[in-house]
């Protein structure tokens, strides 16, 4: 699927309250121990019919089987695929690897701003933005200032909003995206670090990303190349 029009046709509304869910095998050991060859990859992780993680495909395109399977701390859907950050030990010759931990990465889909909608752009601590090597995701790392709240329903929300989409005569495509954030009166005592991923779903072209940070407006230009 190529071009802005076909990409936007597949967009879904998305506003995300940040919650992290993870699972782990054992505590990491430093030095030349059991986990001396620890590796980390952003992946698509698959669950089996029991809801346990059994395999992953890294953003670099490497398929790995988990041995042993990894049980999540929070409920997941059986026979499903999740976006995640995966820590594991060295890869064996047969393509298996010993999992250390999996932390789910929230998926945020691009959406159009509704007519008359007020857009919240409270600042965040911007860290980085990059396109996955396989071209499937736009990834954004950032920090949210947070603290203890009395009402558990008081949460911060983030989103990715489409400002403009352009297709040039030569067929090249451009997306202008605004990172939205509502502090929602959550105290700002310390910074919690997060990563989100936006599916690109076949988009190829240029992304102009705008993020309001505590250091001022950050503008990033990222290229999504054809595979």
DSSP run (H or E) holding 6? helix 4-9
User: Is pLDDT at 36 greater than 90 in this prediction?
Assistant: no
CATH class of 4-19+108-224: mainly beta
Structure tokens at 226: 């054809």
Lowest mean pLDDT, pick from 9-18, 27-36, 109-118: 9-18
Residue 35 has what pLDDT?
62
Classify strands 111-112 and 157-167 as parallel, antiparallel or unpaired: parallel
Bridge partners, 34 (sequence order):
none
Q: What is the pLDDT of residues 58-99, one digit of tens each?
A: 999 999 999 999 999 888 999 999 999 999 999 999 999 999
User: Is pLDDT at 188 greater than 70 in this prediction?
Assistant: yes
User: Is pLDDT at 16 greater than 70 in this prediction?
Assistant: no
Share of the chain above pLDDT 90, in %: 72
Distance CA 21, CA 15 (A): 18
Residue 211 has what pLDDT?
98
Backbone angles phi, psi at 118, to 5 degrees: -90, 125
Residue ranges of domains in the chain: 4-19+108-224, 22-104
pTM to 2 decimal places: 0.85
User: Is pLDDT at 33 greater than 70 in this prediction?
Assistant: no
What's the rounded mean pLDDT across residues 108-121?
A: 91
User: Is pLDDT at 9 greater than 50 in this prediction?
Assistant: no
Q: Could you tell me which CATH number the domain at 22-104 has?
A: 2.40.50.500
Contact partners, residue 8, CB within 8 Å, separation at least 6: 110, 112, 162, 165
Over the chain, what is the mean pLDDT? 87
- Confidence tier at 20 by pLDDT (50, 70, 90): very low
User: Is pLDDT at 3 greater than 70 in this prediction?
Assistant: no
């Amino acid at each position: 699927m190529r071009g802005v029009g076909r990409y936007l046709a597949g967009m879904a509304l998305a506003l995300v309250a940040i919650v992290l869910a993870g699972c782990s095998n054992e505590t990491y050991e430093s030095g030349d121990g059991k986990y001396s060859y620890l590796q980390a990859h952003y992946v698509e992780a698959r669950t089996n019919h029991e809801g346990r993680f059994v395999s992953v495909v890294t953003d670099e395109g490497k398929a790995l089987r988990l041995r042993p399977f990894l049980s999540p701390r929070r409920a997941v859907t059986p026979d499903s695929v999740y976006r995640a950050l995966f820590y594991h030990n060295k890869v064996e010759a047969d393509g298996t690897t010993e999992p250390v931990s999996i932390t789910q990465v929230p998926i945020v889909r691009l959406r159009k701003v509704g007519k008359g909608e007020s857009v919240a752009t409270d600042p965040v601590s911007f860290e980085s933005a990059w396109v996955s090597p396989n071209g499937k995701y736009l990834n954004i790392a950032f920090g949210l200032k947070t603290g203890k709240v009395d009402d558990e329903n008081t949460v911060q929300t983030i989103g990715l909003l489409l400002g403009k989409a352009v297709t040039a005569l030569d067929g090249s495509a451009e997306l202008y995206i605004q990172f939205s954030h509502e502090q929602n009166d959550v105290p700002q005592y310390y910074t919690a670090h997060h990563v989100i991923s936006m599916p690109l779903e076949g988009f190829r072209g240029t992304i102009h990303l705008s993020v309001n940070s505590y250091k001022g407006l950050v503008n990033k230009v990222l290229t999504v190349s054809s595979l």
